[in-house]
């Protein structure tokens, strides 16, 4: 749950 959000945040940063 929380891990998923952290992963998504990291992915978003990578995309940016």
Kindly report, residue by residue over 1-16, the tens digit of the pLDDT: 799 999 999 999 988 7
- CA dist 4 → 10, 14, 15 (Å): 10, 15, 16
Predicted confidence at residue 12, as pLDDT, reads 94
Predicted confidence at residue 15, as pLDDT, reads 81
Predicted confidence at residue 14, as pLDDT, reads 84
Locate 14 and state its tokens: 């990578």
């Amino acid at each position: 749950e929380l891990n998923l959000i952290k992963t998504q945040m990291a992915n978003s940063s990578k995309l940016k």
